[in-house]
Amino acid sequence: GEDVEQSLFLSVREGDSSVINCTYTDSSSTYLYWYKQEPGAGLQLLTYIFSNMDMKQDQRLTVLLNKKDKHLSLRIADTQTGDSAIYFCAEAGGFKTIFGAGTRLFVKA
Amino acid sequence: KAGVTQTPRYLIKTRGQQVTLSCSPISGHRSVSWYQQTPGQGLQFLFEYFSETQRNKGNFPGRFSGRQFSNSRSEMNVSTLELGDSALYLCASSALVAGGDTQYFGPGTRLTVL
């Protein structure tokens, strides 16, 4: 069945790079997304990548997609304390979007 | 453009009661999806509506229902509330007709069932 898996926690020091990984199962997914959720808030779209791309860069964010291994990663350069949040990976195709459980990123000052 | 709005933001109910949550999508968006978020289960898909029709449904009991109006606003109803229904209910809207399009989320309604 469809499933999206992420590690639950990641801790980094301020200024370091963070890499959040995700694996998905549906090879027909058209889009893959990264969302950010801060405490008490809804999900905020960070970036997305089409399934026919390998990489996308957007300021401090770099998304890498390995379609063969169904592996998606989000790299945050120069991580700041304001980046502390839960990051959700999601795959979309057809009429629904499947979300991972979220990775909680802790940024230590 | 205004974002997705959800009302109310917070709600406290008791077991056995029913509740209706409301979602107004971004102007021009015709697809509205609902999700339940709990610490233990993460983000679970409830259902998706497009042009007043339910296109997709998750694995939730019949106590959870929804509808969409002609102006794309959507409501979600939970009847006979259980303690386990306590969660953050998120609504998301998207613009395109086809699937896989980007979803924009509202702030959520936090439901507490006592």
What was the pLDDT predicted at A78? 97
**pLDDT over 80 (residue B33):** yes
Percent of chain A residues topping a pLDDT of 70: 96
Q: How far from the centroid of its chain's Cα atoms is residue B44's Cα?
A: 11
Q: List A residues 50-79 in contact with B (Cβ-Cβ < 8 A).
A: none
Q: Which of B6, B35, B100 sits opposite A92 (nearest CB)?
A: B100
**H-run or E-run covering B31:** strand B31-38
Percent of chain B residues topping a pLDDT of 90: 73
* Contact call for A93 and B42, based on CB within 8 A: no
Report H helices in chain B.
none
**pLDDT over 90 (residue B42):** no
For an interface test with B, the pick among A37, A47, A95 (most B C-beta atoms closer than 10 Å) comes out as A95
Task: Judge contact between B81 and B89, C-beta under 8 A.
Answer: no
pLDDT in tens, A3-40: 899 998 999 999 999 999 999 987 777 889 999 999 88
What was the pLDDT predicted at B9? 95
Distance (Å, whole) CA B27 – CA B97: 15
* Contact call for A95 and B55, based on CB within 8 A: yes
What was the pLDDT predicted at A60? 96
Distance (Å, whole) CA B68 – CA B53: 7
Most confident region among A28-32, A51-55, B3-7 by mean pLDDT: B3-7
> What's the pLDDT band for B84 if we cut at 50, 70, 90?
very high
Distance (Å, whole) CA B109 – CA B90: 7
Average pLDDT, integer, range B51-74: 94
Average pLDDT, integer, range B51-57: 90
> What's the pLDDT band for B97 if we cut at 50, 70, 90?
low
Arithmetic mean of pLDDT over chain B: 91
* CA-closest candidate to residue B45, choices B26, B29, B64, B30: B64
* Local structure of A90: helix, strand or coil: strand
Chain B partners within 8 Å of A99 (Cβ): 35, 42-43, 45
What was the pLDDT predicted at B96? 65
- pLDDT: is A1 or A77 the higher one? A77
What was the pLDDT predicted at B2? 80
